[in-house]
Each structure stands twice: as C-alpha cells, then as structure tokens.
Amino acid sequence: QSTVQLYGLVDLSAGRYQDPGAKSMTKMQPGGMTTSYWGLRGKEDLGGGLSAVFAAEGFFLADTGASGRFNGDAFFARNAYVGLSSASLGTVQLGRNTTLLFVSTIVYNAFGDSYTFSPTVRHVFLPSAITAPVTGDSGWSDSVLYTSPKLGGFKASVLAAAGEKVGHRNVSAGLNYDVGNFSAVAVYQDVEKDISTALKVDDTRTWQLGATYDFGVVKVFAQHTQVENRSVAGSPKSKLSDVSAAIPLGNGKVLAAYGLLNRPGSADQKTFSLGYDYFLSKRTDVYVAAMSDKDEAKATYTTAKSYGVGIRHRF
Amino acid sequence: QSTVQLYGLVDLSAGRYQDPGAKSMTKMQPGGMTTSYWGLRGKEDLGGGLSAVFAAEGFFLADTGASGRFNGDAFFARNAYVGLSSASLGTVQLGRNTTLLFVSTIVYNAFGDSYTFSPTVRHVFLPSAITAPVTGDSGWSDSVLYTSPKLGGFKASVLAAAGEKVGHRNVSAGLNYDVGNFSAVAVYQDVEKDISTALKVDDTRTWQLGATYDFGVVKVFAQHTQVENRSVAGSPKSKLSDVSAAIPLGNGKVLAAYGLLNRPGSADQKTFSLGYDYFLSKRTDVYVAAMSDKDEAKATYTTAKSYGVGIRHRF
Amino acid sequence: QSTVQLYGLVDLSAGRYQDPGAKSMTKMQPGGMTTSYWGLRGKEDLGGGLSAVFAAEGFFLADTGASGRFNGDAFFARNAYVGLSSASLGTVQLGRNTTLLFVSTIVYNAFGDSYTFSPTVRHVFLPSAITAPVTGDSGWSDSVLYTSPKLGGFKASVLAAAGEKVGHRNVSAGLNYDVGNFSAVAVYQDVEKDISTALKVDDTRTWQLGATYDFGVVKVFAQHTQVENRSVAGSPKSKLSDVSAAIPLGNGKVLAAYGLLNRPGSADQKTFSLGYDYFLSKRTDVYVAAMSDKDEAKATYTTAKSYGVGIRHRF
C-alpha cells in the first residue's frame, strides 16, 4: 500500500476555438496543453536489479468531469500494464501501452501533447482534422512493449499488439539517441488493426524522424512523418513536417511551431501556433496561445483561428 | 505525489421508501443522508499567498457500486476543476463546479444534502418529484467560479457557464454573511442551458434566501426559494419554503424539517421529516429518519411515507 | 485522509486460449490468475472494540484498460459497502458484497479465482461455458452481510439481498471451520433475483461443501457443489466436483486441478488444469499454465486446449 503512487494532471483553457471548415466557438476547452488524466502506478524492487512495474491511467475531460477522451473511451485508456524492468536487460510491459509514434511526436515538438495547439499532434493524430490519419490510436491494447537499457546514448524499443480477430497484428519499432543537448528519434509502425470507427483507413504504415537541440537561448525541434495508406489503391503517402522552438523568457517560455501536411492528390494543411507558457512552479503553469490552421482543401472557413488562455496543474 | 488527497464518503440506508403517486418499496437506499462520492484534490503553495487548487470528484451508488448518480452521469460529476487561490484576491476555479444554489440549499437546512429526507433538496432539485424544478443540475460544466475572500463577515461568489451551443450561458451570483452564531445567504441564478432530458423546462430564473442561527440548545434554519419558469407562457413562479431545526441530544442531533412547495395553478406539496443522527465519531454516524411527503396534485398515494436506518462514513 | 488505503492487483497473460465448441485464439488474456482490480478501503477505530469499515473496489481489464469485467458492469462491482465491525459481535456490511459461494469456491481450489484456468470457477460461475450456472453473480447488490467472530475455529456468515422488484430476495448462509492445517466450509444460497441477461435461469438453489488440508509437501483441496435449477420443470440438479493440489517447488508451487460437471439430461464437462506459479516476491508472481476443457455436449471442438504465461502484481 505504501508503494502505490496516485498522480495526474488537470488542464483547462478558455477562449475562441475553431477547426478548418467549421464556425468558431467561444468555450472552455479541456486539455489546452495536455489531456487531463489521473493514475495509479508502482515499482517494486525484486532484488538483483529487477523490478515489477505497473500503471493504470485514465484520461478525463475537466470541463464536464467525463472520463476518457471521448464517449466510449476505455476507462484506463492512457496506460494499463504490468511488467518487469531490469537495469541491464530492459523493460517488458504487457497490456495497453502508449505507442512509440505518439511519444516521439509529442517529445519532438515545442507544444508537446497539445491536441489544441500543437500542429504535428493535430496533423498526425486528430482524426477529424485530416484526411490521411495515422490509424491505431495513441495507445495499443493487447500489446507488449520492450524498451532496452541505454547503451552509449542509444535506446531501442519494440511494440507489438495481437490482432485478436479484430484485424491483423500491429508492430512498431523505435530508436532514440541522446547526447548532451542533442536528442533524436526514428520510429516505424505498421497498423493493421483498428477498432476506431472515427478513422477512415485501417491499414497504415508510418515512418517518423525527429530531432531537437537545446542552444540554451532557444531549443529547436524538427520532425518529419510519412504515412502510407495501404487501404486504398496506389497506397498514397502523406508527408507531414513540423518545425518548432521554445525560447526561455522570464519564468516561462515562448513557444512557436509550424506544421505542413502534404496530402497526395489534395491541397495542403498549414498550421502555425504561437504561445507563452509561464511557470508559477514546477507543477503549475499558465499559458496563452494562438493558432492559425489553414486547410486549403476546405471550401469555407479555410483558415481557422483559435486563441485561449489556460492553466495546467500536475499532482 | 505527496500532496494529493484521496477522500470521500459512503452512505447507505435500508427501509421503506415511497414517492408521492407511487407504491412504497422495501429496499436499500444509497445516500440516505449524503450521496456517496470519492475524489482527489490538492493545494500547492505557490508563494506570496497564492495557491494552485484542483479537485476531481465522482459520485457513486453504494448499493450497486455504480458510478455517478444515474446512468450516463459524468464520472467526475461532483467537481472537476483547476484554479488559483489567493488569500487577498479570492479564488478562481475553471471546469465543472458545484452551483451556488445547491450549496445554499444544503447548508441552510437541517437535513443537509439528503435527496432522501431533506424537504428542500427534494423540492428544489429532485426532477421526478416536482413539476416546477430548477434546471441546470447541482453542478455546472464549462464554468468559471469566482469566490471572494471574507470581508467583515461577507463573502461574494459568481459562477458562469459557457453556452457552447447547447443553449445560452448560465449565470449565478451569491452573497454570504457570517457573524457569531448567525449565518445568511442570498443566491440568484439564471439557467438557459440544460442538457438534462429528465427535466421539462430549460429556462429558469431562481432566487433563494437562507438563514440559520445556533441557539446552542437548537440550531434553526429557514430558506425561501422562488423559481420562475420562463419556458412557458406567463412565466409562472413556484414558491418553496423550508424551516428546519437540529437539536443536540446525547452524541447526536434530533433533526426536523418542514417544506412547502407552492406551485402556480396546481396543488401544493407538503413534506415533513423527522430524524435522529448519532455520531459514533467525527467521521462516522448512524441515523434513523422518517418522512411524510404529501403531494396534493397526485390522484393516488397522495401521502408517501418513508422511513429508514442508515450509516454514513467519511474517509 | 491518512486512513484510506489504495490497493489492487494487475494480472495479464498471453497465450492460446480456447472454449469448448469454439476455435482457439492467440491473444492477451486479462486476469489469467486473478481478475485485475483496484480499490479504496478503510477501517476507523471507534473505541470499545468497534470499528467502521468501508470498501469501494472495481474490476478492470488490463489488456484494454476497460473498467469492469464486461461492458455494462458497475464501476465498483467488486465490493461497495459500509459497515460496523465488532471484535466480540461480528461485522455487518451494507451495500454490494462478494457472495459466500464465490469466496468458498475460490478458497477451496488450488487455482483460486482464475476464470481462465480454475475448473471449478469456470464450472460454477462462467455463464458462457455451462448450461446449469449458478445465478446471481459473484457479488450481490442491495445486500447485508453478517459475519460472526471466530468461536472455537468456527465462523458463520449470512448474506441477504433485497429483491427491489427485480425479483424476490436472495439469501445465503455459510459456516467455516479452521483448525491447524485443516479448513472446511459449507455454503447454501437461494437466488431468486438476477438481472443478468447472459444467464438462462433465474431461480437456483445451490449447496457447496469444501475442504483443504496442508500436508506441507502438498496442500490438497476438494469441493462439491449441487445447483438446483428451479426455473424449469422438474427442478433438475447439476453436480459439480473438483479436486486440486498445490505442491511447493522452489520459490513457487505446482498447481493441478480436475473438475467434473455432471448435468442432468446432458453430457458431462471434464476439465483438467496444470500450472506452475513462481513467486518473485510476496507481491509479484509469474506463472505458466495449461488446461484441457472437454465438454461432451459440444458437437465440434469438444476438447478445448488453452495455455499461457502471465504475470500478477499486487499493489
């Protein structure tokens, strides 16, 4: 009992929000910077460098108090795993694991995991905003995740999810490299199992490269993603690019990001975000951000404009 | 992690329960005195008198273990907010906040927040029991709550909820006054947004005045509520009055309450409750209560009689 | 706040799983040994040997993160009660309580509460696997549980659930005897209220006898159950027998179990399981198990074969 941790994050913003092709709305927006969640986790020392690990984490929407990210989302959809971790051999986690692609997408851009303001998170993961989405959600059920120990700055990961007659299995592999102020990642994933009805394709192969360098006066991020939609003839490939920066200023950071979604056979989506994130403490920050989201494939409201102020608290 | 609190309350009673117009049932009644809940909350000292605050609290029915107050209730429907609190400037909370009207209704009557035995809670908030209910639930999603610091016994509060195309916005304001053994409240609310399908009206304006005085041998409570239903012609006004008392006796209190619901163009509802609440400790009490609930608008079972025994435990 | 405990268990296995009459599937199986759960509980000392007790515990499926054992299961379906416990007079719990029959079934067999590998748990409680199931679930809502103190090795329990117009009331009684290395139980239950639509009968009377003796080199278990289905003509009686053993070996135990389900007017089901459960610590174990599940009433896939490896962690 003494070993279990109870933790989470609450993030709420208010402002004017708009998606391309739709009218704007003045509203309270949950998760302006990070989707709110709470969870239980623990690590038990088994001796000899071995530990047992577990986590059960669920999302919630702090504007209404609803659990999950959407109606019907699993209660512990963020993570639900149990596994063994060895200092020398790496970690194995069984259950529902966050995907390597989601982690690389959010780590290698200045707006992190913001579905509201991060161009790359919106382009890669937001089903309603794009026509060539990555399939398979940001977490995979029925999966096994292996993460190697760090070796000379390198860390490798493999994730596989059983098909279980919903479809075929999913597989993913990633390589991280960290040295000094530089960090880079390469991730591949093949999704052939997707139970989401909100997404239009169910067989995608995705590559992503990301890198970041911290110059001190500015931390720069870049990532490039290619999504091959193998469920339609010709297997068209979407190309997604994102550059961003975080510039320390006072107790906070100026955040800027530009993302380009190049769709095969259709017009581009070009998204630019600018914000300032001020830290009241390590655990609590307030932020203001604005985004211009131009989808040239839309007939009306081509350029959506959003802006909001919010507060994020970790517990 | 060390700062988050895990807390709640479990309340169950058993007895014979009846609503006007319906047959009685012998059953286990969850939340005889207080609707059961559990939650997470925290307060982080940010220095300079400023704190970050958050809460995520969900109701549950302890007789079946179901979450929420009813099927489809949001998981953290009791409260889900994040905000900033200043000793000198007051507190701002964003998210889902308990309404000022609900707080004033339960504080200024002897049976507190009992949906089972409190005449005023049943008259003001129970949708199935009355024909002119307050709309908008006891908590508002998408809302901002501001609470002032205390100034010479006075405290002011403002609550507003964004319409978000479900309807128009909701607004509420309240003023509390506390001095010695006397306490009083005035609350106004205008609801134009109501997603509840159980309620029949969607545009109500409500005034409430409440007061209490503790004489030592008895604490007396009184409240008066007026609900204007603006969704029908003529905007009829219901008038709800409640007087109640708590009389210390042994380690407990005798509770008595009378509530009158005066409906425009229809017969009255008159509800009388009597109980004894015995405290085994500060955190645990057992109670016995009986209620006569006479709704003169019903053709059969006009006078419903309920009685039960229960236990309530805070953790 | 300091008194509430946060605890639970995560169990996941992977392998090939099959039910009689169906094809096998390679998959991740949640709860290979124990259905995963988490919960809150507390005990408050009220003085004079009296305590207040409560629990709110929910199941979850760690392969997907979904709450409950199945879609629509109550959130705190494992336990949701509040009560009083006296060292001399026994314990009373109101709410949703685990049944006496479920506890006796899982304590008196070597595979415990495994719905995946325990023959008796599958025969007595798995609705899809058998034609004469016990009705009423493993927990009863709207119930009162009384458990006596231990007297000369004996302990008695009574459980009753209000019908609440879903059906008639349920009642159950049990007697436990423990002395030295020997332990035995007798349980009776009469279910006349069953809201489960997955089950085919709604009026069953069940007797169960169970015993275990720990010889040191081997702990042997035996149990016999008779289920009378009173919802069909003639009230046919199913007879379920189970013998099992746990043999300490290294830091683990070899587990073996055989269960026979004798159905009136139909063919038998014969289930044999063998496993090895290795404890990495008191709180964490890894296991491998195989089961042959022969249902002679099935036309195809009469003998189902399952095997898997898993990990279980208590927190």
| Interface contact C75-B64, CB threshold 8 A | no
| Interface contact A60-B81, CB threshold 8 A | no
Instruction: Tell me which chain A residue has its CA closest to the CA of residue B84.
Output: A311
Q: What are the domain boundaries of chain B?
A: 88-314
From the list B63, B65, B315, which residue is nearest C75 (CB)? B65
Q: Under CATH, what is the fold of the domain C5-314? A: Porin (2.40.160)
- Give yes or no for residue A198 having a pLDDT over 60: no
ipTM over 0.90: yes
C220-to-C26, C117, C277, C279 alpha-carbon distances in Å: 32, 17, 16, 20
- Which residue would you say has higher pLDDT here, A18 or A126? A18
Closest residue by Cα to residue A27 from B167, C62, B287 = B167
From the list B25, B61, B311, which residue is nearest C94 (CB)? B311
The model's confidence at residue C194, banded by pLDDT at 50, 70 and 90, is low
Chain B from 224 to 283: CB within 8 A of any C CB: 280-281, 283
From the list C12, C26, C281, which residue is nearest A82 (CB)? C12
Task: Decide if B71 touches A, using CB distance below 8 A.
Answer: no
Return d(Cα C185, Cα C204) in angstroms, integer.
20
| Interface contact A54-C10, CB threshold 8 A | yes
C226-to-A30, C109, C127, C132, C190 alpha-carbon distances in Å: 54, 16, 16, 10, 12
The predicted structure's pLDDT at residue B194: 64
| Average model confidence (pLDDT) across chain C | 92
Return d(Cα A105, Cα A109) in angstroms, integer.
7
| Interface contact A6-B3, CB threshold 8 A | no
- Give yes or no for residue B199 having a pLDDT over 50: no
The predicted structure's pLDDT at residue A130: 45
Q: What is the SS3 assignment for A108?
A: coil
- Give yes or no for residue A265 having a pLDDT over 90: no
Sequence length of chain A is 315
**CATH fit for domain B88-314, picks 3.40.50.300, 1.10.620.20, 2.40.50.180, 2.40.160.10:** 2.40.160.10
- What residues of C are in contact with residue B63 (Cβ under 8 Å)? 80, 95-96, 141-142
| Interface contact A313-B79, CB threshold 8 A | no
| Interface contact C142-B28, CB threshold 8 A | yes
| Average model confidence (pLDDT) across chain B | 92
Return d(Cα B154, Cα B176) in angstroms, integer.
6
b/e string for C189-199 if b means 16 or more Cβ within 10 A? bbbbbbeeeeb
Structure tokens at C278: 């290795």
Which chains does chain A touch, 3 or more C-beta pairs < 8 A? B, C
From the list B76, B84, B94, which residue is nearest A28 (CB)? B94
Instruction: Tell me which chain B residue has its CA closest to the CA of residue C74.
Output: B66
- What residues of A are in contact with residue B91 (Cβ under 8 Å)? none
Task: Decide if B8 touches C, using CB distance below 8 A.
Answer: yes
**Best mutation site among B2, B19, B284, B314 for testing chain C: the one with the most C CBs within 10 Å?**
B284
The predicted structure's pLDDT at residue A86: 97
């458990």: which residue's tokens?
C147
pLDDT digits (tens, 9 = 90+) for C8-58: 999 999 999 999 999 999 999 999 999 999 999 999 999 999 999 999 999
Which chains does chain C touch, 3 or more C-beta pairs < 8 A? A, B
Size of interface A-C (CB pairs under 8 A): 111
Identify whether the C-beta of residue B280 lies closer than 8 Å to the C-beta of residue B297. Answer: no
The residue ranges of DSSP E strands in chain B, in sequence order, are: 5-17, 25-30, 37-47, 50-61, 66-67, 79-86, 90-98, 139-147, 154-161, 170-179, 182-191, 204-214, 219-229, 237-249, 252-262, 269-279, 284-295, 303-314
- Give yes or no for residue B176 having a pLDDT over 70: yes
| Interface contact B12-C81, CB threshold 8 A | yes
From the list C3, C52, C56, which residue is nearest B60 (CB)? C56
| Interface contact C28-A139, CB threshold 8 A | no
Task: Decide if B40 touches A, using CB distance below 8 A.
Answer: yes
- Give yes or no for residue A274 having a pLDDT over 70: yes
Mean pLDDT of A71-100: 97
The model's confidence at residue C130, banded by pLDDT at 50, 70 and 90, is very low
pLDDT digits (tens, 9 = 90+) for B58-103: 999 999 999 999 999 999 999 999 999 999 999 999 999 999 999 9
| Interface contact A311-B142, CB threshold 8 A | no
- What residues of C are in contact with residue A84 (Cβ under 8 Å)? 280, 311
From the list C60, C65, C313, which residue is nearest A141 (CB)? C65
The predicted structure's pLDDT at residue A167: 66
Task: Decide if C44 touches B, using CB distance below 8 A.
Answer: yes
Identify whether the C-beta of residue A52 lies closer than 8 Å to the C-beta of residue A114. Answer: no
| Interface contact B164-A28, CB threshold 8 A | yes
Amino acid at C61: L
Task: Decide if C160 touches B, using CB distance below 8 A.
Answer: no
Structure tokens at C230: 């009173």
Closest residue by Cα to residue C157 from C207, C203, C92, C214 = C92
pLDDT digits (tens, 9 = 90+) for A117-169: 999 999 998 865 445 467 788 999 999 999 999 999 999 999 999 888 766 88
From the list B78, B84, B96, which residue is nearest A63 (CB)? B96
Structure tokens at C141: 């809502």
Q: What is the SS3 assignment for A105?
A: helix
- What residues of A are in contact with residue C283 (Cβ under 8 Å)? 44, 52
Which residues lie below 8 Å from residue C252, measured CB to CB, with a gap of 6+?
Answer: C276, C277, C278, C279, C285
Lowest mean pLDDT among A46-55, B185-194, C216-225, C285-294: B185-194
- Give yes or no for residue C129 having a pLDDT over 90: no
Which chains does chain B touch, 3 or more C-beta pairs < 8 A? A, C
- Give yes or no for residue A190 having a pLDDT over 60: yes
Mean pLDDT of C269-287: 97
Mean pLDDT of B257-269: 92
Task: Decide if B3 touches A, using CB distance below 8 A.
Answer: yes
To the nearest whole Å, the CA of A56 is away from the closest chain C CA by 7
Task: Decide if C68 touches B, using CB distance below 8 A.
Answer: no
| Interface contact C60-A83, CB threshold 8 A | no
To the nearest whole Å, the CA of C25 is away from the closest chain A CA by 7
Q: What is the SS3 assignment for B103?
A: helix
Q: Kindly state the DSSP code that residue C234 receives in the 8-state scheme.
A: T
The predicted structure's pLDDT at residue C263: 87
**CATH fit for domain A90-314, picks 1.20.1250.20, 1.20.58.220, 2.40.160.10, 2.60.120.10:** 2.40.160.10
pLDDT digits (tens, 9 = 90+) for C49-98: 999 999 999 999 999 999 999 999 999 999 999 999 999 999 999 999 99
**Best mutation site among C3, C44, C67, C146 for testing chain B: the one with the most B CBs within 10 Å?**
C44
Structure tokens at C287: 């296991």
- % of chain A at pLDDT higher than 90: 83
Return d(Cα C287, Cα A112) in angstroms, integer.
39
Closest residue by Cα to residue C147 from C83, C52, C76 = C83
Instruction: Tell me which chain B residue has its CA closest to the CA of residue C139.
Output: B64
Mean pLDDT of A91-98: 98
pLDDT digits (tens, 9 = 90+) for A244-258: 999 999 999 999 999
The model's confidence at residue A175, banded by pLDDT at 50, 70 and 90, is very high
Phi-psi region of C65 (alpha: psi -120 to 50; beta: other; left: phi over 0): left
Return d(Cα B313, Cα B283) in angstroms, integer.
6
| Interface contact A28-B78, CB threshold 8 A | no
Task: Decide if B51 touches C, using CB distance below 8 A.
Answer: no
Closest residue by Cα to residue A239 from A286, A271, A206 = A206
Lowest mean pLDDT among A40-54, B130-144, B246-260: B130-144
To the nearest whole Å, the CA of B66 is away from the closest chain A CA by 14
Strands B204-214 and C284-295: unpaired
- Which residue would you say has higher pLDDT here, C102 or A204? C102
The predicted structure's pLDDT at residue B130: 46
Return contacts of A57-61, CB within 8 angstroms, 24+ apart: A57/A8, A58/C65, A59/A35, A60/A36, A60/B56, A60/B75, A60/B76, A60/B80, A61/A30, A61/A31, A61/A36, A61/B80
| Interface contact A7-B6, CB threshold 8 A | no
Chain C from 91 to 150: CB within 8 A of any A CB: none
Return d(Cα A211, Cα A244) in angstroms, integer.
11
- What residues of A are in contact with residue C61 (Cβ under 8 Å)? 80
| Interface contact C40-B65, CB threshold 8 A | no
- What residues of B are in contact with residue C83 (Cβ under 8 Å)? 311
To the nearest whole Å, the CA of B245 is away from the closest chain C CA by 27
**Best mutation site among B2, B3, B43, B44 for testing chain A: the one with the most A CBs within 10 Å?**
B44
For Cα atoms C257, C260, C262, give the angle at the middle one, nearest 5 degrees: 170
The predicted structure's pLDDT at residue B195: 56
